[in-house]
């Protein structure tokens, strides 16, 4: 990381329900305003006020139709459907902020790299270099059918395609246009020097892209790369490509083991292991007193939509949880969807989870720890993870939106600033790209595969 500060992202989705299913019914919750531009500009202003690095947008292709073999529960309960494409609210959010970054999730299985490279270059230009790409391979079978494909690719093959996808976008972003290719010489009428714009001549197993890139270099060239894979193949991918890693493990030891494992794998790719920045998700429930915070948690729990949670988890795991006895113990299976989620509740935790326990645990934020208390107590816990476990920051998940963000900014952020864990608002450097804020460097380091 660039400094001695911890780094905050807001983890959200341009949808009614993201990972705390049922919360849209909570009094005062604004999730149903997700399609309203004002909702997102307010979120952006609050996150910037709280010194957040970025708003991190999850996104999904397809509908959650594994539970009860039907899309109806997901549609009825707004489980990530309806949702909008997050890339299109980013310019509005960038317009009302100066320093906030935006991580946009896009799938390497259902996009074409030539097209995606153009979209991210455009966003990077439009936001003055405040963009990250959360690289996902997608997990729902229903996405493939809607895109005219015969079926979802197998889990590990999706990562093979993703590797080649990244080769193409890196070549377009990093190698196609030299820094001084654009000359803008009005007198000669020469805008660009064609000698300094290069074809990439990619011809691989999945893609054939001659190039050149259609956009001139944007402030960051490659956006900041985020990844969250946690299966064996997913870890290889994250270790090779990620600058930011979204950690989702069931207990503290598993978090430490995961980080150690990824650092070791990154070294195997010739990368500096410290170039990987780890962000566990957390669900802060914060109030002026401990009693109020506990009361808030209790009332949040009353609003958990258990069937909606099971619908979401069935999609994550590819297991129809409607068929299982709620008191049945979960067993490890090799899923074609998110292997990391299955592992989290089986092989990565000593506790033997039942279906019911998993649904109750996942009701608030799905796979992240819930931290309840005063601003001081929540800051204590974040400081402990930052200092003792060595994480670089946190992806903050709201249950009730945007009240949990506002409470975090009003109660926890001042504590973090007081302790020197976040810069004071007037000390925060302005005009940086997201990568500069995160890592201190404008460009991807030379040992990253994009620069090889
Ligand atoms: C915390 C977390 C957040 C994720 N967010 C998304 C997302 O927004 N969209 C998506 O398609 N996949 C998302 N994923 C899925 C991963 O990117 C990955 O594709 C999936 O976990 C399958 O890989 P694995 O089997 O290696 O874990 C997320 C995974 C985790 C653990």
Total domains in the chain come to 1
Closest atom, ligand 1, to C-alpha of 136: 17
Find all residues with CB under 8 Å of 337, minimum gap 6, and list them. 139, 140, 155, 315, 316, 317, 318
Which backbone phi and psi does 432 adopt, to 5 degrees?
Answer: -90, 155
For the chain, residues with pLDDT lower than 50 are 2
CA of 246 to the centre of ligand 1 (A): 9
Residue nearest to atom 1 of ligand 1 (CA): 248
Peptide bond into 402 cis (omega under 30): yes
Q: Is 244 helix (H, G, I), strand (E, B) or coil?
A: strand
Q: Is 331 within the bounds of a domain?
A: no
Q: Is 25 within the bounds of a domain?
A: yes
Q: Which of 320, 321, 378 is nearest to 6 (CA)?
A: 378
Can you tell me the distance from the alpha carbon of 372 to that of 294, in angstroms, rounded to the nearest whole number? Answer: 7
Q: Is 174 within the bounds of a domain?
A: yes
Closest atom, ligand 1, to C-alpha of 233: 26
The per-residue pLDDT for 349 is 83
Can you tell me the distance from the alpha carbon of 297 to that of 370, in angstroms, rounded to the nearest whole number? Answer: 9
Q: Is the Cβ–Cβ distance between 117 and 177 less than 8 Å? A: no
Residue nearest to atom 11 of ligand 1 (CA): 138
Can you tell me the distance from the alpha carbon of 242 to that of 263, in angstroms, rounded to the nearest whole number? Answer: 11
Handedness of CA 443, 135, 124, 183 (dihedral sign): positive
Name every protein residue with a CB atom under 6 angstroms from any ligand 1 atom: 58-60, 105, 107, 136-139, 228-231, 234, 246, 248, 281, 338-340
Q: Is 323 within the bounds of a domain?
A: no
Q: Is 313 within the bounds of a domain?
A: no
The per-residue pLDDT for 83 is 97
Terminal-to-terminal C-alpha distance of the chain: 22
Residue nearest to atom 8 of ligand 1 (CA): 58
Pocket test for ligand 1, best of 56, 229, 346 (most atoms within 8 A of CB): 229
Q: Is 293 helix (H, G, I), strand (E, B) or coil?
A: helix
What CATH number should be reported for the domain holding residue 50?
3.20.20.30
Q: Is 398 within the bounds of a domain?
A: yes
pLDDT digits (tens, 9 = 90+) for 394-439: 999 999 999 999 999 999 999 999 999 999 999 999 999 999 999 9
CA of 376 to the centre of ligand 1 (A): 31
What pTM did the predictor assign? 0.96
Q: What is the CA radius of gyration of the chain?
A: 22
Pocket test for ligand 1, best of 228, 238, 316, 317 (most atoms within 8 A of CB): 228
Which backbone phi and psi does 280 adopt, to 5 degrees?
Answer: -70, 150
CA of 243 to the centre of ligand 1 (A): 16
Pocket test for ligand 1, best of 336, 340, 394 (most atoms within 8 A of CB): 340
Find all residues with CB under 8 Å of 336, minimum gap 6, and list them. 139, 141, 152, 154, 155, 318
Closest atom, ligand 1, to C-alpha of 368: 1
- Distance of CA 44 to CAs 49, 90, 223, Å? 9, 9, 19
The per-residue pLDDT for 2 is 47
Q: Is 311 within the bounds of a domain?
A: no
Residue nearest to atom 28 of ligand 1 (CA): 228
Pocket test for ligand 1, best of 63, 139, 163 (most atoms within 8 A of CB): 139
Q: Which domain holds residue 178?
A: 7-296+368-451
Q: Is 414 within the bounds of a domain?
A: yes
The per-residue pLDDT for 3 is 58
């Amino acid at each position: 990381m660039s400094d001695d500060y911890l780094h905050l992202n807001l983890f959200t989705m341009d949808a009614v329900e993201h990972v705390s299913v049922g919360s849209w019914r909570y009094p005062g919750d604004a999730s149903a305003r997700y399609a309203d531009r004002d909702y997102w500009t307010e979120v952006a202003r609050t996150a910037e006020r709280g010194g957040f690095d970025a708003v991190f947008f999850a996104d999904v292709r397809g509908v959650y139709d594994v539970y009860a073999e039907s899309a109806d529960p997901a549609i009825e309960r707004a489980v990530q459907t309806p949702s909008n494409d997050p890339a299109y609210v980013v310019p509005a959010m960038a317009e009302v902020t100066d320093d906030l970054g935006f991580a946009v999730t896009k799938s390497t299985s259902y996009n074409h790299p030539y097209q995606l490279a153009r979209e991210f270059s455009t966003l990077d230009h439009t936001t003055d270099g405040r963009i990250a790409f959360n690289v996902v391979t997608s997990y729902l079978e229903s996405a493939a059918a809607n895109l005219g494909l015969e079926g979802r690719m197998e889990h590990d093959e999706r990562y093979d395609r993703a590797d080649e996808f990244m080769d193409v976008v890196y070549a377009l972003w990093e190698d196609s246009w030299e820094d001084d290719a654009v000359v803008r010489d009005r007198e000669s009428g020469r805008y660009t020097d064609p000698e300094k714009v290069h074809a990439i001549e990619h011809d691989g197993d999945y893609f054939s892209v001659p190039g050149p890139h259609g956009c001139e270099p944007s402030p960051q060239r490659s956006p900041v790369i985020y990844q969250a894979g946690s299966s064996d193949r997913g870890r290889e991918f994250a270790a090779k490509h990620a600058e930011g890693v979204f950690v989702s493990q069931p207990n503290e030891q598993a978090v430490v083991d995961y980080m150690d494992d990824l650092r070791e794998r990154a070294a195997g790719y010739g990368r500096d292991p410290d170039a990987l920045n780890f962000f566990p998700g957390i669900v802060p429930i914060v109030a002026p007193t401990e009693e109020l915070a506990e009361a808030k948690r209790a009332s949040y729990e009353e609003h958990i939509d258990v069937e909606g949670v099971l619908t979401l988890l069935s999609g994550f795991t590819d297991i129809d949880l409607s068929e299982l006895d709620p008191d049945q113990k979960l067993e490890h299976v090799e899923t074609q969807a998110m292997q990391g989620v299955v592992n989290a509740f089986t092989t990565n935790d000593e506790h033997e989870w039942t279906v019911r326990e998993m649904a109750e645990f996942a009701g608030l934020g799905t796979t992240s720890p819930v931290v309840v208390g005063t601003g001081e107590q929540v800051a204590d816990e974040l400081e402990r993870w930052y200092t003792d476990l060595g994480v670089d920051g946190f992806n903050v998940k709201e249950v009730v939106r945007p009240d949990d963000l506002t409470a975090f900014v009003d109660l926890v952020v001042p504590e973090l600033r007081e302790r020197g864990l976040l810069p004071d608002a007037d000390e925060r450097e302005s005009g940086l790209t997201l990568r500069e804020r995160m890592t201190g460097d404008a460009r991807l380091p030379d040992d990253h595969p994009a620069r090889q």
